[in-house]
Amino acid sequence: MVKNIILYIFIYTLSVGCSDSVLNSEIDGGCEADCFLEVEAPSLSEDENGYYHIEWLDGYTQTFTTLDANIGTDGYHKVHWDSDLGIMYSGEFISCVNNSSYSNGGTAHTVMSVWEGMIEDTITVYSLFIDWCNIEHIDSIKVVVDNEI
């Protein structure tokens, strides 16, 4: 229950916290950064609407893919991840993505997993990166779980 509340707060903050992908920072003391955040799923196909598609693998418990977050700066930086869909396991909410990773060479990676009950669902995956000027960069992608094979 508490994890669900935390997830809803995180999603709410992402969805109403800014009008574009970088939060405006008026109190940064003149700090300038040219970082960005772009999330993509390089192993998945993307349709004309910008939705990615993951094909469910019959006979498995989960199907996995890797997601990338390009942040536009070198070094090691923490990148946060979350999703709007997951499963309950032993009384705890399990997200479709690992909740954090670190960038190396300007890109951070995470693993996304889907379960059979998510076939035909569309999952929104959120990513957040805070640069050295304390500016929050937010991006998201949508992934459709298909079972066409």
pLDDT at 30: 61
**73: which 2 tokens?**
């700066």
pLDDT at 19: 33
**115-124 pLDDT per residue, tens:** 999 999 999 9
Q: What pTM was estimated for this model as a whole?
A: 0.77
Residue type, 85: L
CA-to-CA distance for 83 and 81, rounded, in angstroms? 7
CA dist list (Å): 22 to 60, 81, 140: 39, 16, 13
Identify the three-state secondary structure at position 8.
helix
Complete domains list, the chain, with CATH: 2-20+35-146 (2.60.40.10)
